[in-house]
A = this chain, B = another copy of it.
Amino acid sequence: MNLPATAKKFIVHWGEMGARWGINRSVAQIHALLYLSPQPLPADEIAETLAIARSNVSVGLKELQGWGLVRATQTLGDRRDHFETSADVWDLFRVIIRERKRRELDPTLTVLRECVAEAKASESKQLPHLDERLEAMLEFMELADAWGERATRLAPKNLRRLAKLGDSIFKLAE
């Protein structure tokens, strides 16, 4: 596909953003392209459009499917899989939160709980406040975890609605 300049700009920027957040540049670009596409795309068209090797697209799509961000669809008269992502940014947000929570927050909570238990058991001379610091971090992560859990449960529409309530929510805490 020959992309309009605007689409190219968005896809390139999306790739850069992904890279800053620990997502492979090509993977982020594939996702950006699918987000803009009105219909599911076959892997070879993605490869051609983004000018990356077909094999890379295969790996990238697997990765995105692993995140639950992309799914394969089939059409009559074409043996190739066609890939699509959700057109709803709030849905994408929800999925990303869910996965990062599962992959990063949950293991961190496990480690922190172990650390807190150990730190309480044995006081250290070099680091007298070790337990306090770890407990504070644990509390933070548990709250983040709870927010992630709730965001995951909420329907995309309600998530958007909640986001728009920003001002009144922050007034609760002033």
Chain A residues packing against B (C-beta within 8 Å): 1-7, 9-10, 13, 17, 19-22, 35-38, 87-90, 93, 103-104, 108, 111-112, 114-115, 118-119, 122, 124, 126-130, 133-134, 136-137, 139-140, 143-144, 146-147, 150-151, 154, 158-167, 169-170, 172-174
Contact = CB atoms under 8 A, between A and B. Distances in A.
B126 A154 contact: no
Contacts of A19: 22
Given A20-B104, A36-B130, A127-B36, A170 B154 contact: yes
A67 to B, nearest CB: 13
Contact of A174 (B10, B154, B160): B154
A128 B22 CA distance: 31
A35 B135 CA distance: 12
Contacts of A88: 136
Nearest to A6: B118
* Total copies of the chain: 2
B22 A20 contact: yes
Q: Is the interface of A mostly helix, strand, loop or mixed?
A: helix
A38 B114 CA distance: 21
Given A4-B130, A111-B13, A126-B4, A173 B146 contact: no
B173 A154 contact: yes
Contact of A4 (B37, B124, B129, B136): B124
A89 B36 contact: no
A174 B35 CA distance: 27
Contacts of A137: 35, 89
